[in-house]
């Protein structure tokens, strides 16, 4: 690739950007993959154990913070973003305000993004190959030790906000990130500047205080972590704060002023099977076969049936006390795993305490 002139590399970058648009990517940028500033933040985050049970975050940290250790010989990182906000879905506030419904994070209402975006990145790489011949590359979407947000920030796609998501002044933060690591010495973009200013809305809105240190997240408190990544029992003190969120959490993004006019995502991310506003009791009654059927091709599948029931038991424990809910909880105890049973017992206790206080 060293044979390409500066002029040719400029043209090639413009051409790649155009192909990225044709593949429906909503943002594109290039950086040199230097993560010298991000690496210490990752190290101190891990040292504080803020990654909780996500042991994968503590592995291969050298590869995560030095892209050329993950893919030797690469010089650049092409970052892309892909909008997902499902505008046609029931508005988040309607679901969050109704404790009988289950709230599922906006990114998880439709198809799983990993394979979809990876395929598009592969198509982008194929077009580059057609133009310049074989070149070295690897495509990533949340799939390997990659620091996607700092790379995208360096490539000018947006800045890392106080809620620790990457956001863009005009498009907010409802998008996924993906990368092509490459040996093409493309011209780089400048980093995006920060526009959070004195705003603290995400910090104030976080139900559990996970963002109390701006720009840093204590994942162990984050509801997205507790309901998606955490494998064991959810700490009891945090259960009442989870409310009706059964998979992920969007509170910090929902209040962000830059998300006021969210760009609509691709149809693939539209809500399936009424997951945007399903009754908790209906979801709790799914059999394992139902779970497999309704979550096929969805990011929820990875959670597994047991943790799905665990999360629903917590949300039902936070729901208004009534006989139907209590009966459903009692019935589910039959044959329940230790993990699920423990959360159901907690939920029943919540209901009984509430019913007794009404007497």
Dist. CA 164–CA 178, nearest whole Å: 17
| Per-residue b or e along 194-204, where b marks 16 or more CB atoms closer than 10 Å to that residue's CB | eebeeeeebbe
Nearest to 76 by CA among 37, 38, 124, 31: 31
Interacting residue with ligand SF4 among 80, 166, 196, 329 (CB under 6 A) = 196
Binding flag, residue 257, ligand SF4 (CB under 6 A): yes
149 forms part of the interface with ligand SF4 (CB under 6 A)? no
**Residue 181 three-state SS:** strand
Asked about 62 being catalytic, the answer comes back as no
Contacts of 56 (CB under 8 A, 6+ apart): none
C-alpha–C-alpha distance, residues 232 and 324, integer Å:
27
Q: Which is nearer to ligand B12, 63 or 136 (CB)?
A: 63
201 touches, from ligand SF4, ligand B12, none (C-beta below 5 to 8 Å by class): ligand SF4
Interatomic CA distance for residues 343 and 317, integer angstroms: 9
Summarize as ranges the residues that interact with ligand B12 (CB under 6 A).
38, 41-42, 45, 54, 57, 105, 107, 141-142, 146-150, 160, 163-166, 173, 175-177, 215-217, 219, 222, 224-225, 228-229, 248-250, 252
**Shorter beta-carbon distance to ligand B12: residue 95 or 219:** 219
Given the residues 32, 68, 142, 183, select the one marked as catalytic: 142
Closest CA to 259 of 216, 196, 191: 196
To which H or E segment does residue 175 belong? strand 175-182
148 vs 188, beta carbon nearer ligand B12:
148
Q: Count CB atoms within 10 A of the CB of residue 115.
A: 12
Which one of 126-134, 138-146, 253-261, 292-300 is the stretch in contact with ligand SF4 (CB under 6 A)? 253-261
Encoded tokens for 170: 């005009």
Task: Give the residue with the Cβ less far from ligand SF4, 167 or 312.
Answer: 167
Among ligand B12, ligand SF4, none, what does residue 157 contact (CB within 5–8 Å per kind)?
none
Q: Say which entry of ligand SF4, ligand B12, none residue 297 contacts (CB below 5 to 8 A, set by partner kind).
A: none
List residues near ligand SF4 by CB under 6 A.
161-163, 167, 196, 199-202, 255-258
Catalytic residues: 142
């Amino acid at each position: 690739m060293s044979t390409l002139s500066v002029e040719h590399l400029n043209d090639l970058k413009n051409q790649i950007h155009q192909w990225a648009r044709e593949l429906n990517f909503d943002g594109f940028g290039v950086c040199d993959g230097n993560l010298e500033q991000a690496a210490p933040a990752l190290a101190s985050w891990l040292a504080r154990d803020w990654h909780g049970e996500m042991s994968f975050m503590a592995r291969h940290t050298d590869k995560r913070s030095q892209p050329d250790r993950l893919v030797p010989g690469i010089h650049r990182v092409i970052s892309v973003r892909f909008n997902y906000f499902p505008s046609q879905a029931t508005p988040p506030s309607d679901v969050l305000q109704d404790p009988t419904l289950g709230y599922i994070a906006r990114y998880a209402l439709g198809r799983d993004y990993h394979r979809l975006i990876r395929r598009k990145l592969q198509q982008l790489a194929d077009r580059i190959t057609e133009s310049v011949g074989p070149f070295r590359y690897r495509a990533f979407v949340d799939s390997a030790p990659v620091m996607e947000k700092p790379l995208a920030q360096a490539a000018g796609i947006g800045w890392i906000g106080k809620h620790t998501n990457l956001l863009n002044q005009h498009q907010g933060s409802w998008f996924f990130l993906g990368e092509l690591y490459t040996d093409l010495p493309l011209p780089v973009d400048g980093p995006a500047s920060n526009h959070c200013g004195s705003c603290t809305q995400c910090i104030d809105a976080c139900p559990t205080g996970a963002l109390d240190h701006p720009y840093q997240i204590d994942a162990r408190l984050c509801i997205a972590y507790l309901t998606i990544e955490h494998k064991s029992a959810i700490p009891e003190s945090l259960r009442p704060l989870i409310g009706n969120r059964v998979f992920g959490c969007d509170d910090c993004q929902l209040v962000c002023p830059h998300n006021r006019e969210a760009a609509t995502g691709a149809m693939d991310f539209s809500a399936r099977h009424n997951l945007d506003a399903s009754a908790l009791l209906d979801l709790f009654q799914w059999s394992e076969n139902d779970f497999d059927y309704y979550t096929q091709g969805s990011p929820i599948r990875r959670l597994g049936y047991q943790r799905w029931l665990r999360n629903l038991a917590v949300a039902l424990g936070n729901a208004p006390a009534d006989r139907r809910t209590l009966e459903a909880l009692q019935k589910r105890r039959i044959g329940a795993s230790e993990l699920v049973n423990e959360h159901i017992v907690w939920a029943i206790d919540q209901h009984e305490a509430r019913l007794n206080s009404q007497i």
